[in-house]
Structure 1
Amino acid sequence: MIEKIAEQLVNLTVKQVNELATILKKEYGIEPYNSVKLENTSKSKEEISKKEEKTVFNIILKSSGNSKLSVVKLVKEITGKGLRESKDLVDNIPSLIKDSVNKKEAEDLKNKFEGIGAIIEIE
C-alpha cells in the first residue's frame, strides 16, 4: 500500500504537487519543508546582516594620482615607515596602507588621500 502511494506521489505533475501542497496546508496545517526552510533562511540572513555590520577596515591605495610625492609623504606620516618603504608602497599599487582601522578613521584617511589626488579603497 505504501509503495503504491509513493509511486503515485512520484508520478504527480507540477500542478498536482502544488494542489497537494495547498490541501496539506489548508486541511492539515502541514507546510512543505522547502518553503518553511526558505522563509527562515531569508529572515536569518537579514537579521545576520543587520547584526554583523563591518567595524574594521583596511585602507588600500589604488592610484597615487598626479602628486606622487605628496602621496609618499602622507603614507610616511600615516604608517610611520621610512621614506624608502613609503615610496615602495606607492610604487607597488595596489598597496595596503593601513589595516584594522575603525570606520571614522578610514573615512578620514580616505578624505586626506583624495584631497591630494590619490584613489583609496576601503575594504
Structure 2
Amino acid sequence: MKHIAFVRSLRACTTLSRINGPLQIRLFQHDFVPRDPKTKPKRYKYPPFYDPYGPRPPPADKIVQLAERIIALPPEERRQIGPSLHERLRHPKLQPISTEGMDMGPSGDQGPLKVEEKKEKTAFDVKLEKYDAVSKIKVIKEVRAFTNLGLKEAKDLVEKVPVLLKQGVTKEEANDMIDKIKAAGGVAIME
C-alpha cells in the first residue's frame, strides 16, 4: 500500500512538470538594456482631440443634402428648426435649476462682457454760449421768462456766459428755448 502511494505521487510530479514546464526561477532579464542617464525622454505628440471610437465614416449623402437644405433656409426658418424637432421627437423641456441658498459669486444676470444699452435721452440741459452786446436786454428778458428769476439775478446769470440756464427739460421745451434765445440775439445749445 505504501508502494502504491509512492508511485502515484511520482506520477503526479511528472504530470505537473508537463503542465507547468520546468520549475526554475529567472534571476535576471537577459534582454534588459539599462537606460542611458544622459538621454532626454521621448516627447509624444498628442492628437488635437481624443476620439475613443476612432475615425468615423463620412456622413451619408442624404445627411449632406439635408444639411445643405438647412443652410439655404432664411434665418427666421432656421430658428424654428430646433423647437419643432424638440416637439416632434417629444424631448422633455429643460427646467431651470434652482440655485436658492447657493453662493454663485457675482449675480448670474450679468454676462462676462455685457455691453451697455444706449438709452435715448429724455432730459436735456440748455446752456447759453454767447450773446450780442446790442441785444443783451432782450436776452435777459428771455432768460427771465424761462427761469422765473428777478431782473438782477437774470442779468448776473447772463453776464456769466457760458452758463447753464435750465436743467432736465424735454427736447421740445429745450428747442423752444433755444429758438427764442436765438431770436433775441443769443446763442444757446442743448446738452
Fold shared by both chains (TM-score > 0.5): yes
2:164 to 96, 101, 111: 96
Residue in structure 1 matched with residue 99 of structure 2 by the alignment: none
Please list, as runs of the form range in 1=range in 2, the aligned pairs for 1:75-114 lying within 5 A after superposition.
75-114=143-182
Q: 1:44-82: CA deviations, max 9, x gaps?
A: 35xx12xx0111011110112240000001111111100
Whole-angstrom CA distance in 2 between matches of 1:84 and 1:53: 37
Gaps of 5+ in 2: 1-44, 46-111
Whole-angstrom CA distance in 2 between matches of 1:77 and 1:108: 12
Residue in structure 1 matched with residue 127 of structure 2 by the alignment: 60
TM-score (norm 2): 0.39
Please list, as runs of the form range in 1=range in 2, the aligned pairs for 1:1-123 lying within 5 A after superposition.
44=115, 48-49=117-118, 52-65=119-132, 66-123=134-191
Gaps of 5+ in 1: 6-39
Aligned sequence identity (%):
38
Whole-angstrom CA distance in 2 between matches of 1:116 and 1:83: 16
Of structures 1 and 2, the one with the larger relative CO (CA 8 A, separation 6+) is 1
How many pairs were matched up?
80
Whole-angstrom CA distance in 1 between matches of 2:183 and 2:142: 11
TM-score (norm 1): 0.59
State the 4+ residue runs in structure 1 displaced beyond 6 angstroms. Answer: none
Q: How much is the aligned-residue C-alpha RMSD, in angstroms? A: 2.1
Indicate conservation of the 8 Å contact 2:181/2:187, yes or no: yes
